[in-house]
Chain A
Amino acid sequence: MSKIRVKGSVLSMGITTTLVAVAQVIEFGVDGAESETFDSTTIDTSGAGKEYGLTGYSEGGSLTFGCFWDPVLASQQSVTDLVTTPATSSWSLTFADAATTVSTFSGAGVGFGFTGAMNDGLKADVSIKLTGLFAYPT
């Protein structure tokens, strides 16, 4: 049991057929992953509690990350390539734990936006819609 630091983590994406690190990442996260359910409540369900069953599918959710944006940086240009030329993308997240655990996942769609403010650097927010599931270590 340990508390893993974020310092030293690496987010990588497939630029060609291999995965290479994305530079200048500030933060990252995965959300929206869930096992899918359906409402299985019936009129003769006993008690007041609604019941749910499992469909057998799971939603992979999205991976989001924020970064300082450099429009001419090759690794970041590969992200906007996914906007201009939609394609399935390959990704990995390397954690800074003792085993340097690497989890891989595939992205379907990508969301991208950037902001500039007088009192901050140029920043971008990226979201990647997972197709399939994040490879959670087991």
Chain B
Amino acid sequence: MRCKYLIAVLEPRPEFHDDERLEVVDGHHYWPIGTVEDHPKAYRLVRMGIAEPDDDECRLVAAVSTQDMKAAGKQYEMVSKGIEPDDYQRYLDGEILGYDTAGNDLPGPNWKRKEDEDDEE
């Protein structure tokens, strides 16, 4: 069964580094959005919101709505960026984009410091 990637997926294994098929960003290789994969477990990627079904078999086995797939995709985006569960809502609200190397917040477009929010409460 086939699925098609909705997000770029990191490929850290050097043996798969094919510069013609993969995108290189900041020295890291990614399978680009739109990559089609034919695999018996492709439905798992669909359930995780990483990919969408690319054939009827995958669509039937995955059995998820577009809405659930989008929600799972957002969840996966946060997991893959290492966002702490306590910060999920702040990420979704655009307050943070992630963390810097010291673990401090990387401000998003709607950034608020956690302390500011605590003061408001």
Contacts and interface: CB of A to CB of B under 8 A. Distances in A.
Q: Do A and B come from one complex?
A: yes
Interface of A: 2, 4-5, 7-10, 12, 15-24, 74-75, 77-78, 81, 90, 92, 94, 96-98, 100, 102-104
5 contacts: A9-B82, A16-B42, A20-B80, A23-B79, A74-B48
B80 A21 contact: yes
Contacts of A24: 79, 85
Interface string B46-89: 01101000000000000000000000100110011110110000
A93 B44 CA distance: 20
A78 B13 contact: no
A62 B98 CA distance: 30
Contact of B75 (A12, A16, A23, A92): A23
Contact of A15 (B45, B80, B82, B99): B45
A16 B39 CA distance: 6
Contact of A12 (B10, B37, B39, B84): B10
Interface residues of B, number: 32
B103 A78 contact: no
Given A10-B81, A75-B44, 4 more contacts: A10-B79, A23-B75, A97-B101, A102-B28
Q: Which of A12, A20, A102, A103 has the most CB of B within 10 A?
A: A20
Contact of B11 (A18, A21, A23, A75): A18
A8 B96 CA distance: 13
B99 A20 contact: no
B98 A8 contact: yes
B13 A104 contact: yes
**9 tightest A-B CB contacts, nearest first:** A8-B82, A102-B12, A16-B39, A21-B80, A5-B103, A74-B47, A98-B101, A74-B44, A23-B79
